[in-house]
Amino acid sequence: MTQDDTPPNDSLLFRSGDPDFMNSLARGLEVLRAFSGTDGHRTAAQISKHTGLSRAVIRRCLYTLAEAGYVTKAGNLYHLEAKVLSLAQPYYTAINSLPVIAQPFLENVSQQINESCSLAVMDGDEVVYIARSATQRIMTVSLTIGSRLQSGCTSLGRILLADWSDQALQQYLKRNPLTAHTAKTITSQRDWKKAISAARNDKFALVDEELEIGLRSIAVPVTDASGQIIAAMNVGVQATRISKRILQTEILATLQTQAKQLNQRLSELDVV
């Protein structure tokens, strides 16, 4: 299997000994997740390879999902139906959901600096965008709500990883060997750990063209009532327009101000 085809969480897909755990539900959800990052179409064989589940299991999952209206079949291809959007809707539209609460603060950042601002959380070893206020700047990286990126070479990811223990970070590195996306990507474990430590101590992370040449970003933590990091807020800019100095002064100050106000709002609402 390639890295992309590695079962995303085989401990859940093949879990046993827990009478309260529904393996069939976990497997059905992973079948839906198998469509992520594709053109929206998958064969049963491709999903089987991606999840590590047998084709017989995949066939039953797809049949059930089709009967429920979440997927349809055309020939040997399956594709998602719009009904799958209803699964995420409560998370994004509930009055006290993190994306809804954070949106005005992201918009404040964008209005003040005329740059896109995003909010992300950690999902497994990846960061997933859950809210965004976008400007019309043209970037090669296309980001929308639900977009997922590797955490190790992004400012959002490093802020979120900064809350992990040293042991958890070491396990992360075993699962995610550092690879170069550009000539500036940190690939030394020693230097990478220093970057995570700096993010932990400085309460911000700046990534300079490590994910993509021409893209700089800076992120700050978002915390709950107990002070635990639950998300990260960032601004991404074109390196040709915005220097690192401006990122660390003007843009960082705006981010920190809005993040502080968001943290206070979350604390008042006791959102976790």
Q: How does pLDDT run across 162-219, given as a tens digit for each residue? A: 999 999 999 999 999 999 999 999 999 999 999 999 999 999 999 999 999 999 999 9
pLDDT above 80: residue 159: yes
The CATH 1.10.10.10 portion of the chain extends over 3-82
Instruction: Answer yes or no: CATH 1.10.10.10 is held by domain 3-82.
Output: yes
CB atoms within 10 A of CB 229: 20
Would you state the structure tokens that stand for residue 270, as one six-digit string?
């006791």
Strand order in the sheet with 229-238: 148-150, 126-133, 117-123, 229-238, 215-223, 205-208
pLDDT at 160 over 50: yes
Which residues neighbour 78 within 8 Å (Cβ) at sequence distance 6 or greater? 41, 42, 43, 44, 47, 62, 66, 71, 72
pLDDT at 14: 65
Please give the full DSSP string across 95-127, using - where no structure is assigned: TT-HHHHHHHHHHHHHHHHSS-EEEEEEETTEE
Three-state secondary structure call for residue 132: strand
pLDDT at 61 over 50: yes
Tens of pLDDT, residue by residue over 120-144, are 999 889 999 999 998 765 455 567 8
**Model confidence band, residue 7 (pLDDT cutoffs 50, 70, 90):** very low
Domain range 94-269, CATH class: alpha beta
- Higher pLDDT: 145 or 29? It is 29
CA atoms 120, 122, 123, 125: torsion sign: positive
Judged against a pLDDT cut of 70, whether residue 15 lies above it is answered with: no
| Tokens coding 100 | 């809804």
User: Who wins on pLDDT, 6 or 132?
Assistant: 132
Return the pLDDT at 145.
81
Q: How far is CA 114 from CA 105, 110, 137, 209, 244, in A?
A: 14, 5, 9, 20, 17
Q: pLDDT for 83-122, tens place per residue?
A: 887 777 776 666 678 999 999 999 999 999 999 999 999 9
Q: Answer with the residue of higher pLDDT: 135 or 62.
A: 62
Does pLDDT of 5 surpass 70? no
Residue span(s) of the chain under CATH 3.30.450.40 come to: 94-269
Portion of the chain with pLDDT greater than 70, in percent: 88
Q: How far is CA 119 from CA 7, 182, 238, in A?
A: 27, 24, 18
Residue with the larger pLDDT of the pair 19 and 137 = 19
For the chain, percent of residues with pLDDT exceeding 90: 60
What pLDDT does 8 receive? 47
Q: Quick check: 98 and 230 in contact, CB under 8 A?
A: yes
